[in-house]
Amino acid sequence: MKLEWKQILIAFILGVLLAGGLGALALKYNAHRRWGGEPGYARMVERFNKKLDLTAEQSAKVAAILEEKRKKIKALRGEFGPRFEEIRNSARAEIRGVLDDRQREKFDKLQAKDSRWKKRRPDGE
């Protein structure tokens, strides 16, 4: 009976982490598309031009504003990224402490797979 509750607790914790990770990934992907670089940035300016009938001067000003904000967002990502990584690593270490050897091995493989996926991303995040 005790083992069943332990397994339920582990499944719950992993589910929460997975849901949180997927939510963060969706937010990050969406923000990256909008602010992350030239294609998203150019699409946004183009969309504003079409929807708002911007003059050439307004379009240039909007483009400059978006570029400035993109740089600030990138700086924030660099500043807070390591803190988020520390929290993730702490959670992983605590979860490993709850698992038995077999589960720990599977968990480590899942984490390695996540790490490989992360390295393939253009911004490495």
Q: Which residues does the chain have with pLDDT short of 70? A: 1-3, 25-39, 115-125
Number of domains making up the chain: 1
Closest CA to 111 of 96, 99, 98: 96
Predicted pLDDT at 125: 43
**pLDDT score of 22:** 73
- Tell whether 26 is covered by a domain: yes
Our measurement of the distance from residue 7's CA atom to the centroid of its chain's CA atoms, rounded to an integer in Å, reads: 28
54-58-63-69 Cα dihedral, nearest 10 degrees? -110
Is 38 a member of any domain?
Answer: yes
13 inside domain: no
Q: What is the C-alpha to C-alpha distance for residues 18 and 40, in angstroms, rounded to an integer?
A: 27
| Domain-embedded: residue 33 | yes
Global pTM reads 0.43
Q: Helical H runs in the chain?
A: 2-35, 38-52, 56-98, 101-120
* Domain assignment of residue 62, yes or no: yes
Domain that holds residue 76: 18-120
In this prediction, residue 105 carries a pLDDT of: 92
Which pLDDT score is estimated for 88?
Answer: 86
Residue 9 maps to a domain: no
Q: Does residue 12 lie within any of the structural domains?
A: no
Residue 6 lies in a domain: no
